Chains A and B, each alone.
Chain A
């Protein structure tokens, strides 16, 4: 089944996923695509960091899929889902958000303009920025 995964800034469509109650199983390729964490002999790895999988094998299914919900829970991320759309959104941890804000640096982001061209806040480094929000409501 195809499932939509929202994780950090990425929206990933995982073609060979299994929704199993409160658990979401993804192929290792989809785990990388959705989260950037790659399955290696040491565990799930991203940049210099590796998170070993539990020895009881509970994060892998018979086809080699990974339980992304278990991994997210181990990281302290909340998960919310929309059953009708087969969509799963993994929250950032509040500690990561708080730490980023406490650094005093403006968190970077990338968003589209009206024509769909994408822009990053960090493109403006070297100039002052007045960043302001509004809503049509």
Chain B
């Protein structure tokens, strides 16, 4: 979907890089990247993700760099805690927005577990937040350091979350998990991603990965009861923390 946004911004000095945190590697994500099949993406999913109908209709395969991160290395380096998350990096290589949810939010949690249909209020909220985030990205591309969406180095520091010793140990388990999967050891992969989850319970990328490393599920969207149960268990806490931009709901 980001291709639609990229189309509008690519001639203005910005590169998009997508990173698939996916232990299944290229095999698991190739269909997602190469065949954005509208027929397989019902309207409920579009609404769940907060994209407009106009944007959805223009969906096509990405022209930007699509990288494969089987070991979840980027999540380790940037201390990301879920997908989708994004970082904005300026021409000098400095972060002007730290890792945060890429224009998405917790309003999706009211979705029906089978149809993915949301109540109207949440649907509109997701859509407004998505628009505000994409608008902010466009403003940064236009106005650079003067953009309202850019954080000062002090603000970036303030919003950055930093890893603990358990987090970096969890990252070592994730690397072993990817290694197991490369060697077709699905049980070993699950063991390591579950060990990573136990050490870093707030890292949903490990938790979610641990549920889909079996031969049947690799590369599939996880709709198992276990996923919904763990999501439910978040309770009043956040699954996706709110984005620190003006007017975000």
A-to-B contact residues, CB < 8 Å: 4, 6, 9, 11, 78-82, 84-85, 87, 89-94, 97-98, 100-102, 104-109, 111-114, 116, 119, 121-122, 124-137
Closest residue of chain A to B84 (Cβ to Cβ) is A134
Given A107-B77, A133-B19, decide whether A128 and B89 contact each other with a Cβ distance below 8 A.
Answer: yes
Q: Which B residues are in CB contact (< 8 Å) with A97?
A: 76-77, 79, 162-163, 167-168
In the bound complex, CA of A113 to CA of B65 (Å): 7
Instruction: State the total of A-B contacts with C-beta under 8 angstroms.
Output: 217
> A78, B221: Cβ atoms under 8 Å?
no
Which bucket holds chain B's interface residue count? 35 or more
Contact partner, B17, options A89, A107, A108, A130, Cβ 8 Å: A130
B-to-A contact residues, CB < 8 Å: 2, 13-22, 24, 26, 28-30, 32-34, 65-69, 73-80, 83-95, 102, 137, 140-141, 144, 153, 156-157, 160, 162-165, 167-169, 171-173, 175-176, 179-180, 183, 185, 188, 192, 195, 205, 208-209, 211-212, 219-222
In the bound complex, CA of A104 to CA of B24 (Å): 31
> A85, B179: Cβ atoms under 8 Å?
yes
> A114, B195: Cβ atoms under 8 Å?
no
Q: Which B residues are in CB contact (< 8 Å) with A82?
A: 176, 179-180, 188, 192
Given A85-B183, A91-B169, A97-B79, decide whether A130 and B14 contact each other with a Cβ distance below 8 A.
Answer: yes
With most chain B CB atoms within 10 A of its CB, the pick from A89, A102, A108 is A89
Given A119-B67, A133-B75, A136-B22, decide whether A104 and B95 contact each other with a Cβ distance below 8 A.
Answer: yes
Closest residue of chain A to B151 (Cβ to Cβ) is A104
Q: Which A residues are in CB contact (< 8 Å) with B18?
A: 132-134
> A106, B94: Cβ atoms under 8 Å?
yes
B160, chain A: closest CB distance, angstroms: 6
> B188, A84: Cβ atoms under 8 Å?
yes
Given A111-B69, A129-B14, A133-B19, output 17 extra A-B contacts at Cβ < 8 Å: A79-B172, A82-B188, A82-B192, A85-B176, A85-B180, A87-B179, A91-B168, A91-B172, A97-B76, A104-B94, A121-B17, A127-B15, A128-B88, A129-B16, A133-B102, A135-B209, A137-B22
